[in-house]
Structures are given as C-alpha cells and as structure tokens.
Amino acid sequence: MTSPTVVQRQIPDRLNSPLSRALRSWEALLVLVVIAIFIINSFASPYFLDPWNLSDATYNFTEVGMIAFPMAMLIIAGEIDLSVASIIALSSTAMGYAMAQGAPVPVLVLIGIAVGLACGAFNAMLVTRMGLPSIVVTIGTMSLFRGISYIILGDQAYTGYPASFAYFGQGYIWWVFTFELLLFVLLAGAFHVLLHRTSFGRMVYAIGNNPTAALFSGIRVARVKAILFLLTGVMSGVAAVCLTSRLGSTRPSIALGWELQAVTMVVLGGTNILGGSGTIPGVVLAALVMGLVTFGFGLLNVPGIVMSIFIGLLLIGVIALPRLWSRLQARRS
C-alpha cells in the first residue's frame, strides 16, 4: 500500500503585498483626509470650488511646505530647527535693506538665500561642532535672528519692492497655476529623490535610528547633520523670497509662528518626532490637509486665533494618538 502523496501549496501573503501595505500606510489615511476635507469645504462654502480661490488656497501651504521638506529630514535624523521663521524674518530684512540701497532683483534673491544659508551654517556649527542640543540652540537663534530684524526695523517696514520682484510670490505660470506652486512641486520631487533614492537619504535614516551605530559604520554623522541644517537655512531663505514677494513688504514680525506650522506639517505627515522614520509624500499630503483646512476656515470667516488653536491641538493630537494606540494594542495583547 503506497502512502498518499503530500502536495505542498503556498498561499500568497496578501497582507504583505505592496498594494496592501500602501493602503494601510499613514499616507493612505492622509489621502482620505484630504478628500474628506475637500468635500466638506465644497459644501460649507459656495466659493470653495472656484478655480481662482483654489489657486489662492495654495499660498496657505507652499511657503511653509518649502521649509517643511528639509525640516522633515532634520527631524528624521534626530534633530530639529525652531529658528526657521526667524531666518525668514532676517532674510527678508536683509533683502529690504538691499532694496533700499538700490540693489536689483537678482541680487535681492541671492541675498535672501545667502542669509538663510549663513543662519543655517551658524546653527550647524553650534550643534555639530560644539555638541549643543539642537532644540536649545535653535530656540536661542530663533530669538537672536528675529531680534536683529527688530533692531534694524523697529516698528517700521521696508516697502516699494520692484514690480518684477512680485513675480516670485504673485506670478502665474499658466492659468491658475502659480510660480510658488510649481516651485513647491519641484522641491517636493527633489527632496523625495534625496531622501528616498540616494545614499545620503539612507544615512539620514540610519542616524535617526541609531547615531552611535551609524558613526561606527563609517557614516560622518556630524557632516550629514550639518548639511541638513544648511538645507533648512537655504529653504528658509527661498521661502523668505517668496513670502516677501507676495506681501510686497518686510516687517520684523513676518512669518511669526511658522516654526510651529512647519513642525506640525512634518509630524502630521507621519514623521516620528523622535527621529528614524518619515516620508516626503507624507509631508506633501500634510501640507494639503493644513492648507485646505486653513483656507476653509478663512472662507467661513473663522478668526485667526481659532486657526492657531487648531494647529496647536493638531500637533498635540498627532503626537499623542500613536502612543495611545500602541498602549491600547499592548493591553489587548
């Protein structure tokens, strides 16, 4: 009597397929949130679906998003920069001073970016060379950079920028698509490639997960972090150019509170505030969420202080919910 033949069959693990992982990701949830907010706003206000109003809505996130991209990489690496809004103020002040001396538009743009780069280099030196905690350093430079702007300007403002300078913050590429939106998309693509498709991006993740192991594996941790601070400074300078161009003036209070919005955008995008994980697509989706929400509030004439309260609660909620969820899962198991 012959023994029965045993046929082994492999059942594909559908739960671990790329599609199922994508559908269960934080980015997929953000896509649903964006769709829900879009639908709610379209019913809440009859002016929301107007193409030109939607074009104006992009200004609610493009400039903050520009500094959120390098901020995400910096947080993934285990550091943070809370001086980004003050860098914008100082860069804008430098551009205003140069404008008052008769500098042409290309020089104004270069000055704005150069000042941002210098501020980022100053932060990088204090953190990577002197070993100071980045949160302490950037809280200090946050006051320092904006304080310099107040010393130069006081309660005055620089106005009278050249008409051609307005293109960076008010110009349109085609129809309702602004120059800022195009720049935001290009920067999103560039930072996506840098973080997710290069060895530099892999080093950023390695440093965020275990900086000591990354150092012993041959990664120049201090150098990588310094580059990230430089990127944050440069992008703050770029945002300063766009914001100053859009407003047409410079005041020391410009971009006040944007550091909170940038951090909220990064954390809402799924970046671990303790470092080690995060994605650029998540930051892009978080920017859309925050932009649509604030624009919807604006159409409903919600006071600005309510928007600030919402952003603060959103930041607390995004940080607290994953921890509460993990504790709930642990109790169940």
- Is the model more confident about 322 or about 283? 283
Half-sphere exposure (CA, 13 Å, Cβ side) for 80?
A: 19
Residues found in the chain? 333
pLDDT exceeding 70 applies to what percent of the chain?
A: 92
Q: How far is CA 139 from the centre of its chain?
A: 18
Looking at 1.10.3470.10, 1.10.3720.10, 3.40.50.1100, 3.40.640.10, the CATH number of the domain 48-320 comes to 1.10.3470.10
CB atoms within 10 A of CB 266: 31
Q: Residue 324: pLDDT band by 50, 70, 90 thresholds?
A: confident
The secondary structure of 161-227 as a DSSP string is: --GGGGHHHH-EEETTEEHHHHHHHHHHHHHHHHHHSSHHHHHHHHHHH-HHHHHHTT--HHHHHHH
Q: Which of 267, 208, 207, 242 is nearest to 116 (CA)?
A: 242
Report d(CA 263, CA 286) in Å as an integer.
11
First to last CA, the chain: 48
193-219: average pLDDT: 95
Output 206 or 44, whichever has higher pLDDT.
206
- 185's tokens: 């998309």
**Own/partner pairs for 8-15, CB < 8 Å, 24+ apart?**
none
What is the model's pTM? 0.90
Rg value, the chain, Cα: 23
What is the structure's pLDDT at 271? 93
**Domain spans of the chain, in order of start:** 48-320
Mean predicted confidence (pLDDT) in 149-162: 92
Task: Give the mean model confidence (pLDDT) for residues 172-186.
Answer: 94
Model confidence at 125, in pLDDT bands (50, 70, 90)? very high
What residues contact residue 151 under an 8 Å CB cut-off, 6+ apart? none
Instruction: Kindly state the average pLDDT of the residues 263-275.
Output: 92
> In whole angstroms, what is the distance from residue 130 CA to residue 271 CA?
27
Q: What is the average pLDDT across 68-87?
A: 97
Average pLDDT over residues 251-263: 93
- The C-alpha atoms of residue 297 and residue 300 are separated, in whole angstroms, by 5
According to the model, what pLDDT value does residue 95 have? 97
**Which residues fall within 8 angstroms of residue 280, CB to CB, at 6 or more apart?**
69, 72, 188, 191, 192, 195, 196
| Alpha-carbon distance values, 266 to 70, 98, 270, 319 (Å) | 10, 33, 7, 11
Give the chain's mean pLDDT: 90
pLDDT digits (tens, 9 = 90+) for 10-33: 434 444 555 556 556 788 888 998
Concatenated DSSP letters for 87-146?
A: HHHHHHHHHHHHHHTT--HHHHHHHHHHHHHHHHHHHHIIIIIT---HHHHHHHHHHHHH
